[in-house]
Amino acid sequence: MKAVNVNTLLSLKSNGEKFPVITAYDSAFARQIELAGIEVVLVGDSLGNVVLGYTSTVPVTMDDMLHHTAAVARGNDKSLLIGDMPFMSYATEEMTMDNAALLMQAGAQMVKLEGGAWLEESIFMLSERGIPVCGHLGLTPQSVNKLGGYKVQGRDEEAAQTIFTDAEILQTAGADLLVLECVPTDLAGRISKHLDIPVIGIGAGPDTDAQVLVLYDMLGFSPRIPKFTKNFLSDTGDVQLALKAYADAVRSGEFPAPEHCFT
Ligand code: KIV
């Protein structure tokens, strides 16, 4: 695989080619992900749940993210590396600029922020200063306490319209990618078709431009496996084959199947 950048992903979208994204938190798995030819690696703040043993992503700190982003960057120099900005690290525009810069200096090539229209100015400022941005709408786990649990979002017409409008606002502000988490298939399909930037789904059905899974969920290591995940390790017991099976299933459109989706 040649080194992936934002233009690679835009071309995949314009050619109608789906691509896989996966999380990683250390160098060893980052290397396996590069070997499997997976285009994008996300150092997600799911780190808190699957590696650090917290019950949510809220306790994850900038220091945690910098440490794990640097480790992933040392193991993989081909996949595009997205670093997640943790809870409250982008509460003000000044904090956003400072913390995004630290993540980029640790090895990220793009930063991801959870939230809608309220992020418009921050995304504009990051983008203007040369920092690529991935938005994140739908179920935004850092807001679990406000949302009242890990629930599918955008199920009624008004909520769906808010997500649709937020997606437009993020793209116009300068976002380069968008994650949609746990939203109905139909809504994710409409947003993916409407936006020019690639949309990455997780629990968002088969009609997005890309899919992302949490590495430890798709390897079956997490204590609670969400409905939208599939265990790709169980067939062979080989991590490299599991990653390749996931990448193939995303590219062919075989994953996600109806049992992984919400209506
Ligand atoms: O933190 C994470 O791993 C994420 C993905 C689930 C999209 O944000």
Q: pLDDT tens track of the chain, all 263 residues? A: 999 999 999 999 999 999 999 999 999 999 999 999 999 999 999 999 999 999 999 999 999 999 999 999 999 999 999 999 999 999 999 999 999 999 999 999 999 999 999 999 999 999 999 999 999 999 999 999 999 999 999 999 999 999 999 999 999 999 999 999 999 999 999 999 999 999 999 999 999 999 999 999 999 998 888 999 999 999 999 999 999 999 999 999 999 999 999 98
Q: Which residues contact 14 (CB under 8 A, 6 or more apart)?
A: none
The answer, yes or no, to whether any atom of ligand 1 lies below 6 A from the CB of 23, is yes
- Residue 52's identity, in one-letter code, is L
The answer, yes or no, to whether any atom of ligand 1 lies below 6 A from the CB of 39, is no
Which residues are catalytically annotated?
Answer: 181
Report pTM.
Answer: 0.98
**End-to-end alpha carbon distance in the chain:** 35
Ordered by start, the domain boundaries in the chain are 6-260
The answer, yes or no, to whether any atom of ligand 1 lies below 6 A from the CB of 122, is no
CATH number 3.20.20.60 is the correct assignment for the domain at 6-260: yes
Query: CA Rg, the chain, in Å?
Result: 17
Residue bearing tokens 């997640």 = 84
Q: Is the peptide bond before 141 cis (omega within 30 degrees of 0)?
A: no
Nearest protein CA to atom 1 of ligand 1, as residue: 44
Which atom from ligand 1 is nearest to the alpha carbon of 181?
Answer: 7
Ligand 1 pocket, mutate which of 212, 213, 215 (most atoms under 8 A from CB):
212
